[in-house]
Amino acid sequence: MNKNSINYLVGKNAKLNKILTPFSQIIVFFLDDLSKTLKIINKKKHSDIEALSFFCRKNNIEKLKNNYFNSKVIRFGLGKLFHITPSNMPTNFAYSLIFGLLGGNSNIIKVPSNDFQEMKIICKSINVVLKKKKFIQLRDMIMIVKYTQNDELTKKFSQICDGRLIWGGDETVRNLKKFSTKVKNIDIPFSDRYSICLINSEKFLKLNKFNSNILISKFYNDTYEADQNACSSPHLILWSGKTILNAKKKFWSLLNSLVVKKYNPPLISSVDNYSKFVEDTLSKKDVSSFSKYNKSLYVISLKKINKENFISKTKWGYFYELHMNNLIDLKYITNRSLQTITYFGFSKNFLKSFFSKNNFNGIDRVVPIGQALNINLIWDGYDIIKTLSREIDIR
């Protein structure tokens, strides 16, 4: 594709002039039809598309509506949204579009220039559903485009929109903020984040073989399914309890068996992981030990908490770990860049009480292992529907 050209994947002639109320029935029906179409077209069974299809189901959208929307309040979408989506997550653009639609907005989605097969399947499915007569009005609410190195297009889209969803690193967000926007434009930046995992060693060792494997499979889904690219995939594992050494041995051994059996990373991952491994072991004084289980599972044990060790994101099965004597020590690693804590071996009530009593500077989500990638309408601390819509106050 020429760097100055634009490729319309969906909605080349969309007028982008529709505004609806959040969770409009036509949007709910559209997403449910999209869910069914994705199942049919996704013949190679991409797991991330299966997850997207599951998310779009009518039952799930209705559940989200009940949890996150007050139907007694009069709300409408902001208008036009411009979505700049990341290059390392093939299905992210679809979730961003869903956010915009559920908020009642028309949407311009800039997808990454990568030639993702998942992206082709999703766009094909959207086009199939939009051809149905019952969704004719939605054809003016969805435009999906692909282009590279074209500031003029980005400037144009930024100027005509009422809100922007900016997915990417800090540098991407800073660059997008250079473009002028409407005075009342609302930006939602999803910038660089890191996530961690908290495991109670004693509870883990008490699991039988069956439940141990289930937990390992869930951890695998949180991390390897997205090559650790997701901002919610953990990079640092925090161990608590009195049986940490035995728990670590069991945990990494089981994970290694699953990775060898299931994971198929790109060739570059071996070089990147080994280079990172050499860098860590030679240059970092707070490394206590290290283990290379296979080319896609490296574990670096740390002597102490040092933010610099894990804020620099790792990929393809590269983890840091640390013994934690007291959960209050989380204060040494939390900041506004910490997004998700996944956990095992702690009750929800305990964690609610703990985090309500301790005002940590950071942490947007605390979810069980296996739910790191479960996207929701509260994301990065934003109430998505409220942020992407406006309320009419009538007294």
Quick one: 29 and 50 in the same domain? yes
Domain-located, residue 353: yes
Tens digits of residue pLDDT in 159-215: 999 999 999 778 888 888 889 999 999 999 887 788 899 999 999 999 999 999 999
Tens digits of residue pLDDT in 54-68: 999 999 999 999 888
> What is the band of 84 on the pLDDT scale with cuts at 50, 70, 90?
very high
Q: Interhelix angle for 209-223 vs 244-262, to 10°?
A: 70
Quick one: 354 and 291 in the same domain? yes
Domain-located, residue 2: no
pTM of the model: 0.87
Quick one: 147 and 202 in the same domain? no
Q: Taking a C-beta distance cutoff of 8 angstroms, is the pair 206, 250 a contact?
A: no
Q: Indicate which CATH number applies to the domain containing 59.
A: 3.40.605.10
Question: Which whole-number Å values give the CA distances from 348 to 85, 179, 217, 263, 367, in the listed order?
Answer: 33, 43, 21, 31, 9
In order, the DSSP letters of 275-306 are HHHHHHHHH-TTEEEEEEEETTEEEEEESS--
Quick one: 42 and 118 in the same domain? yes
Quick one: 184 and 323 in the same domain? no
Q: Interhelix angle for 47-56 vs 25-41, to 10°?
A: 150
Residues 24-42 have a mean pLDDT of 95
Quick one: 221 and 280 in the same domain? yes
Quick one: 41 and 167 in the same domain? yes
Domain-located, residue 1: no
- Spatial separation of the C-alpha atoms in residues 30 and 11, rounded to whole Å: 15
Domain-located, residue 226: yes
Quick one: 281 and 313 in the same domain? yes
Quick one: 230 and 321 in the same domain? yes
Quick one: 220 and 100 in the same domain? no
Quick one: 342 and 282 in the same domain? yes
Domain total of the chain: 2
Domain-located, residue 375: no
3-state secondary structure of 200: strand
| Buried b or exposed e, range 148-167, using 16+ CB within 10 angstroms | eeeeebbeebbeebbbbbbb
Residues 310-323 have a mean pLDDT of 80
pLDDT score of 313? 72
Partnered with residue 341 across adjacent β-strands are: 196, 366
Dig out the tokens for 296 from the structure: 């896609």
- Spatial separation of the C-alpha atoms in residues 126 and 31, rounded to whole Å: 9
The boundaries of the domain holding residue 17 are 7-192+380-391
Quick one: 209 and 268 in the same domain? yes
pLDDT score of 286? 79
Query: Element (H or E) spanning 122, and its range?
Result: helix 117-130
Question: Of 370, 372, 328, nearest to 240 (Cα)?
Answer: 328
Which of 218 and 114 is assigned the larger pLDDT? 218
Q: Indicate which CATH number applies to the domain containing 311.
A: 3.40.309.10
Tens digits of residue pLDDT in 253-279: 999 999 999 888 878 888 888 888 888
- Spatial separation of the C-alpha atoms in residues 63 and 69, rounded to whole Å: 10
pLDDT score of 260? 92
Query: Which residue carries 């989506």 as its tokens?
Result: 85
Dig out the tokens for 125 from the structure: 């499915």
Domain-located, residue 252: yes
